[in-house]
Chain A
């Protein structure tokens, strides 16, 4: 039980990295990138390609993949998302969902249906563990992932609060038009945010490939968990994604104790519960009687 809770906590670190990019894009560009999970899987395949085909060491392949993913994010924002964003809320959803279909099936076409993993290429890291005082055993890879998540979120925090780009990003996120009037090039800021978000997705994908098997159709599940972490933690909050990721990871690990399917089911249940609770708290939301009354009124009309 304690073990499962700690596994879940560390898993939360992975979710935070995955969710940070999604949250950043939503915070700055105000759209939900439905291809975020597929971009993560594309990053994983990029690293796998570097390791399996080009024979690079794993960490070199990860370092090579990050700028490539950043470039991809920049280009996607430049050619696809910016255009879609001009036409209201409907198009970004449709376009990113279509992009997801392209990525999944394109990866399948190139790499085939075999599930692949980096687990065999990272040596002892994939199974080694540390024993903490009190007899609690933590895997080295999950622990390092968690530390990496802290570093990534800390780095993002520094970027946003200390640098010129960070200031421009915050200004654009608050009010793109006003920022534009003050001399901020909103389009450029959006492209920079897209580059950061997509390279974070790639990093998360690489970590996923290290701890588990990936296949071309693994993206949607990643998107869903990332989104759940973002919503549980509170949309637009950087450290909230870590909190949300931890809640999700702990729920999943505890659910898996009950039944193997309980892993995903408990995660979805935690997400839906948080949504329901949040909506029940909002004034606009009427559960139970009032909702039924409006329905009956409509039937009579």
Chain B
């Protein structure tokens, strides 16, 4: 049919769960439930590794939400990773129970993001990227000024040392898993709703989006705050498993290198891609992490190659070849011809 034809609303079916997406979503929930009971059967080593994988996945999903869906490239998400851990440490020092403090830390990071969004999000592309980086650096310096952190030396979440190691490991695992599930599901719901479509419209052309009535600022703000909350959760989950807090590590720009790699290699702009990228990074970390600097240089080079030659990443490539989606974030709109009998849906 020609593009200019006017279509009766009655003849249009909107399918929000095309291609068995509902089954895939149920499968995801089953996998999550399986992972939740895993610590009772798996070794401590495996629980530790999976905790790290969850942190990677969480970071990747959040960065994809920003860059892939909202079109804002932040190279300063480590600000929220670090500041959440710092808030958690402060809350514990103030007498809060440790696991509640971890959550409070992530909420604090989201609050910081909300305040900063008022001026950060007014900046254009590259300016925004570097301004987020400046904010991350400034926050690191401020945190290092706190006598509790002792500058470069850092500090530890000593309160967790009172917990029996086996239990502590499992609690850290569950914390990371629940964080991943919550932030992942929130992101999935968000991108499937009006906010998600609005964000993508802004990503493609913010002026055109504003012209058709999309509220550019609040949409970006919602995504920015959610992404900061997710990165904050990743930061406190990391703190809970590493125990030590080193400002230069927690606020390190290497987290952004990891996020960039996972999202670009896995697949920018698809919901599943970053998870594929996280699995890949995790495998590479295990196989080649010992090569240190050359390994990180390799990550950067691979990310560049993917950006230039396969901009939709591995998942995008698979999707284009096989033509299927696992977790649909779009809708399928089908239009019946006028001659077709009406259906009863």
Chain A residues in the interface with B (C-beta under 8 A): 26, 31-32, 34, 80, 83-84, 87, 89-91, 93-95, 97-102, 104-106, 108-109, 216, 220-221, 223-224, 227-228, 231, 259, 261, 264-265, 268-269, 271-272, 275-276, 279, 282, 284-285, 287, 291, 294-295, 297-298
Contact = CB atoms under 8 A, between A and B. Distances in A.
Given A94-B264, A265-B141, A224 B134 contact: yes
A99 B260 CA distance: 12
Contacts of B170: none
B138 A98 contact: no
Provide the main secondary structure of the chain B interface.
helix
B303 A98 contact: yes
B209 to A, nearest CB: 15
B138 A97 contact: no
B295 to A, nearest CB: 8
B221 interface: yes
Contact of B300 (A91, A98, A295): A98
A227 B307 CA distance: 24
B260 A94 contact: yes
A264 B73 contact: no
Interface stretch (B15-23, B81-89, B119-127, B314-322): B119-127
Nearest to A231: B127
B131 A108 contact: no
Interface in B211-227: 215, 217-218, 221-222
Given A99-B304, A102-B300, A291 B118 contact: yes
Contact of A101 (B127, B222, B300, B307): B300
A237 to B, nearest CB: 15
A34 B307 contact: no
A87 B122 CA distance: 23
Given A32-B127, A94-B67, A106-B293, 11 more contacts: A34-B75, A87-B311, A93-B125, A94-B307, A101-B297, A105-B300, A109-B292, A269-B138, A285-B122, A291-B118, A294-B218
Contacts of B119: 275-276, 279, 285, 287
A295 B218 contact: yes
Contacts of B27: none
B71 interface: yes
5 smallest beta-carbon distances between A and B, as pairs: A101-B300, A32-B126, A105-B297, A108-B293, A298-B218
A265 B127 contact: no
B130 A224 contact: yes
A101 B299 contact: yes
A248 to B, nearest CB: 12
Nearest to B221: A295
B197 to A, nearest CB: 15
A257 B240 CA distance: 37
A279 B295 CA distance: 41
Contact of B75 (A97, A108, A221, A269): A97
Interface in B182-232: 215, 217-218, 221-222
A281 B304 CA distance: 38
Contacts of B118: 287, 291
A298 B194 CA distance: 12
B217 A227 contact: no
B144 interface: yes
Contact of B296 (A97, A105, A284): A105
Contacts of A95: 304, 307-308
B73 A93 contact: yes
Interface in B62-83: 67, 71, 73, 75
Contacts of A298: 215, 218, 222
B141 to A, nearest CB: 5
A179 B133 CA distance: 35
Nearest to A298: B218
Nearest to B291: A109
Contact of B307 (A84, A100, A228, A287): A84
Interface string B126-145: 11011101110110011011
A279 B123 CA distance: 9
B73 A268 contact: no
Nearest to B253: A220
A268 B75 contact: no
Interface string B279-307: 00000000000001111110111011001
Nearest to A106: B297
Contacts of A282: 122
Nearest to B264: A94
B256 interface: yes
